[in-house]
Amino acid sequence: MAEAYPRSDSESASSSDNEEDWLNKAGDEDDEEEHEQVSVVSLFDDKVFPDAPAMLAYCKDKFGFDFVGVRDRLGLDFHGCVKLINLVRRSVKEGAALPREITADHLADDDKLLIPVLADDALIFCLDDLPESGKGQQGGSSAEIKAEEAQAGTGEKPAVDDLLQKNAQLQAEMEQLAKQFTNYRLAVEQTLDKRWGVDEEGEKKKAESSSSKTAAPEPKVDDSAYYFESYDHIDIHETMIKDTVRTNAYRDFIYANKHLFAGKTVLDIGCGTGILSMFCARAGAARVLAVDNSAILDKARENIFHNQLDSVITCIRGRIEDVVLPVDKVDIIVSEWMGYCLLYEAMLPSVFFARDKYLRPDGLLVPSHASMWIAPVSDGEYVAESVSWWRDVYGFDMKAMQAGIYTDVKMTVMPKDAVCGTAHAFRMLDLHTAKVEDLVFEDKWQTTLSDKVEALDGFLVWFDCFFAESRTEAVEPSLTAKEWAAAGRERVAFTTGPFDTATHWRQGLYLIDKGKAKEIEVGPGKKLAGEIRYAIQEDHARGLSIRVTWGLEDADKQSQTWLLN
């Protein structure tokens, strides 16, 4: 774009100078951005510093601990410094006193000290910023010192050769640091493997097998990493906690049965924000172990601390199958493991693992039972608005948008009037005795159609949860959550079905593909029967493949399969 007004020579010169100043300033800002600020946490308290030397100077002045002095006295290498950092942090965290004089024996043969006490400990990543042995805390790197000495000796700027030498030395130091970090990560991984009991011989055989020419069958894909990462986000936890049907059920049961929790050790699997753990602690539990493999655990730890419950609740990061609990047995296991259509996400096997390994023989699972229900659906308005609608969108046929509508389970909240027959409880799980193999099944179901049936459009699946006060308290498979809760003054149960308050689980809608299915003559009083099968998807270990078979009683049956991803 042309300038609006021509500038005089003096204005041009002034502008040129300003532009040069601006460019120089911008260059300086770019240099600053390249050196990203870090936050180095004090070894002894929660004060934060912009660099490691400042933090260590603070620790030396206030706490009398000279990190660099100890490092130089013991001649510690990179791994030794990491151990020293974690030794100090672990002592502070556990409230234990440091040895009067730290010796090599305190660091030797203790690989656990390679496991960071403080997640993403910036001090470890800043070890190269510390002065070399024999240099003061104000000294720079070895390359910088040599360059300064050369400049001081000649009184002139370093020559090109000196600059090239300095660059080469800096590059070498960076490569050495990268190697140290690589070795450090490897050491931590090996230590964690030993800590969690990884079978080294089994891993060796696995590696040999993978390198062999004969390819083994590919295992089912387990999207565990994605699954746990999905729970890093706060919005999903907000949705769950704001589900008052869900959260009130846990709160009401725990608070109404404080005598069951008082003085007991409780394990919370998949603790999320820590709310269930805090319920248990407030109910009088002596100790609560909150386990989660998601980064949300950091938020849970803060929540627990701010509510002054950190003396009761211990947060542990990892899969329950991998972590080592600080106790042999627990009295109660509480967990919100339920997924869509109850078994989506495949978290229940983890609860079974913990039950078999950690729960005392007379221990309690919260919740204790879960039932699964199916009912026929007739809702012409829904079909018109969600299915047929795509065939005429402002005069355009957008059939392509119907992809998956008959093959994928749709999670939705259906109106109770859409249910056109009696609901059937096809499976009841007693969580104290159920096994993993009980989660893959094929059960019979039946229904009597009501006067609301106009056409059979699909099937609706939901679940109920029950909170029994003891292992001996039975729940009849045919009882709804509402019926069971009404039978006892303190009984707690909830449903995710269409006849009560909606929950974040909604219901699973299986639409029949009428282009492929045979039309059957329906009417009030007629009976339908069939089977429902739950199986794990071949390519998605946390997903479900659900097949429903249906037909008039004593007539031929047809089937359709839906996927829940």
> What are the catalytic residues?
336, 345
Provide the strand spans (E) within 11-155. Answer: 40-41, 48-49
The H or E element containing residue 253 is helix 244-256
Residues 6+ apart with CB under 8 A from 525: 448, 449
**What letter would DSSP give residue 98?**
P
The Cβ of residue 424 has, within 10 Å, a number of other Cβ atoms equal to 21
Rounded to whole angstroms, the Cα distance separating 176 from 188 reads: 18
Residues 6+ apart with CB under 8 A from 163: 147
Rounded to whole angstroms, the Cα distance separating 294 from 129 reads: 32
The H or E element containing residue 236 is helix 234-242
Asked whether the beta carbons of 62 and 42 are under 8 A apart, the reply is no
Rounded to whole angstroms, the Cα distance separating 188 from 393 reads: 58
Q: What burial letters (b/e) apply to 243-269, b meaning 16+ CB within 10 Å?
A: bebbbebbbbbbebbeebbeebbbbbb
3-state helix, strand, coil in the chain (%, to 5): 40, 20, 40
Residue 79: is it exposed, middle or buried by C-beta count within 10 angstroms (0-12/13-18/19+)? middle
